[in-house]
Structure 1
Amino acid sequence: MNRTRNLIGTWVGFLLILVWCLLPVVWIISLSFKGVGETAAGSPQFLPKDPTLQNYKDILNDGDFLDALRNSFGIALIATFLSVIFATLAAYAIARLEFRGKRLVLSLALAIAMFPVVSLVGPLFDLWRTFHLFNTWPGLIIPYMTFTLPLAIWTLSAFFREIPWEMEQAAQVDGATSWQAFRKVIVPLAAPGVFTAAILTFFFAWNEFVLAISLTSTTKSRTVPAQMSYFVGPDPFNPPYGQLATASVVVTVPIIIIVLLFQRKIVAGLTSGAVKG
């Protein structure tokens, strides 16, 4: 009897959490299929009365939005690639080498990761204007790496510490150089951690808004989160909620695809570094 009650309680709690988490997502999807007249109503109903694909047609034919989507992909991929490379080398040195100030380096890295982004907008704006990096891809990639590198270093250093030192020594005994042992032995074993760092970096660069809106002025390098803030419509008191919801759905689709394709590696990366073998 108690087991049945526990099972029922578990399922009820699970369903409540599921509804709580998915209700906003379902609402945005439903809103994306509503026309302008329906979204302008004072209290629109949950499901669309007359579903339409016009919002998706308008978004996919919007050149500014497509440019922002291209910028988001390019900036996020480049920032992810560079961050993972530098973080892998730095984390390996921190995990394998003994030097003074190692804990201080990790503490500073964590402090940088927790530093409020908004406090750097003003200095970066002036600095980027001076060095002609304002409204450019490097002008966003560099600050993105500043905040993603510390987190990636912390993540990867934990994985490198779990890899037995004897495996690298065995590779060197077999004739491999230090670089070959690192590249062919250590990095493949730390692949779950590398993948986790890459996912976290990509998600940050893909969703970041404050730097994207402050360090860009045109669609030349403006990313999707910043571009969506310009969807104001002809009436400033009645924003195009349908187009905003549609843009949110389109932007979320790549993230969902990445999670579905690599969910096993994501789970392995998030769990394997937490337990010592």
Structure 2
Amino acid sequence: MNKRAGIGFYLFLVLFVFLVMFPFIWVFLTSIKPQSEIFSTFRWFTTNPSLDSYEAALTNRPLLRYMLNSFVVSGITTILSLAFASLTAYAVTRLPIKGKGLILGIVLASSMFPQIAIISPMFNLVTDLGLRNSYLGLVIPYITISLPLSIWILSTFFQKIPFELEESAKLDGATPFQTFRKIIFPLAAPGVFTTGILVFIAAWNEYLFALTINSDDVWRTVPVGISMFQSEFSVPWGDISAATVIVTIPIVVLVLLFQRRIVSGLTSGSVKE
């Protein structure tokens, strides 16, 4: 019975992984098919694999420029969000401030607004500041979106750190900022790292603000740039699939390289010793 249960579990696991990975597998298989086979047949594998779609994706459109824009915007957003969120989370969880619950409630409420509800005032703000078609024009709304999530996640990690360490630092004459910089922040590093990865991926995949604010092709990010591959009379699915594979590789490599830290951050504080 146990053996059957084990076999059933592994079969379910294989089926689950296949269902999750199916869109990515299909995109990759489409990217190596000749254009004629994409529309004429519904076969899984092609007998004549080709890299023409990858060449077209890199030459017909400035895909590398889109990736550079996404890297810069996502990187700046991640750094600034972690800087502001870590200080805010430390203040509301470790310092004697009244109304901590209200502050966190307001932060949570601000994250409930859909992007379409705030895109108009954001667009007007960025336009009045003269920041359209620039990196900073996207960083401002991205920080607005990512800060509430970052504050909530980091608050959870900061709350798990023993208060005795902070009290010992105070007895040694450390200021609140010194305590934060030398004790609290290093101990919460796994959580900070995990939050940074989540913020980076969210900024990398954001579409609505990027489409509205940066209308110049030179300043477009990856999601918007790929959506512009289609022409008036056709949709080059091979080029789109190849571009999707290319822009997914950096994220996959990033997650694989820091997999242990991400898992450590997600599970930190979940088990009490």
User: Structure 2-normalised TM-score?
Assistant: 0.94
- Partner of 2:10 in structure 1? 11
- 1:80/1:62 Cα in 2 relative to 1: closer, same or farther (>3 Å)? farther
How far apart, CA to CA, are the structure 2 residues paired with 1:246 and 1:111? 39
- Matched residue SS, 2:62: helix
1:53-94 superposed Cα distances (whole Å, 9 cap, x missing partner): 111122233452221111000000000000001100000001
Q: Percent same amino acid among aligned pairs?
A: 44
Tell me which amino acid in the other structure corresponds to 2:95.
Answer: L
Q: CA RMSD in A?
A: 1.6
Structure 1 segments unaligned to the other structure (5+ residues): none
How far apart, CA to CA, are the structure 1 residues paired with 2:250 and 2:108? 29
Does the 8 Å contact 2:210/2:220 carry over to 1? yes
User: Structure 1-normalised TM-score?
Assistant: 0.93
Does the 8 Å contact 1:193/1:273 carry over to 2? no
Query: How many Å apart are 1:161 and its aligned residue?
Result: 0.9
How far apart, CA to CA, are the structure 2 residues paired with 1:104 and 1:165? 22
- 1:51/1:256 Cα in 2 relative to 1: closer, same or farther (>3 Å)? same
Query: How many Å apart are 1:273 and its aligned residue?
Result: 3.5
- Partner of 2:236 in structure 1? 240
Does the 8 Å contact 2:33/2:46 carry over to 1? yes
Query: How many Å apart are 1:127 and its aligned residue?
Result: 2.8
2:264 to 268, 272, 277: 268
Does the 8 Å contact 2:57/2:240 carry over to 1? no
Structure 1 segments (4+ residues) deviating >6 Å? none
Matched, 1:66 2:64: yes
Does the 8 Å contact 1:77/1:202 carry over to 2? yes
- Partner of 1:253 in structure 2? 249
Which runs of structure 2 are paired with 1:115-154 in the superposition (5 Å)? 115-154=113-152
- Partner of 2:20 in structure 1? 21
How far apart, CA to CA, are the structure 1 residues paired with 2:3 and 2:269? 36
Alignment size in residue pairs: 273
Structure 2 segments unaligned to the other structure (5+ residues): none
1:164 to 162, 167, 184: 162
1:218-260 superposed Cα distances (whole Å, 9 cap, x missing partner): 1232100011111014x52x30001111111111111111111
Does the 8 Å contact 1:67/1:219 carry over to 2? no
Does the 8 Å contact 2:191/2:265 carry over to 1? yes
Does the 8 Å contact 1:39/1:242 carry over to 2? yes
Q: Which moved more, 1:198-207 or 1:175-184?
A: 175-184
Does the 8 Å contact 1:80/1:198 carry over to 2? yes
Which runs of structure 2 are paired with 1:180-219 in the superposition (5 Å)? 180-219=178-217
Does the 8 Å contact 1:162/1:276 carry over to 2? no
Tell me which amino acid in the other structure corresponds to 1:20.
Answer: L
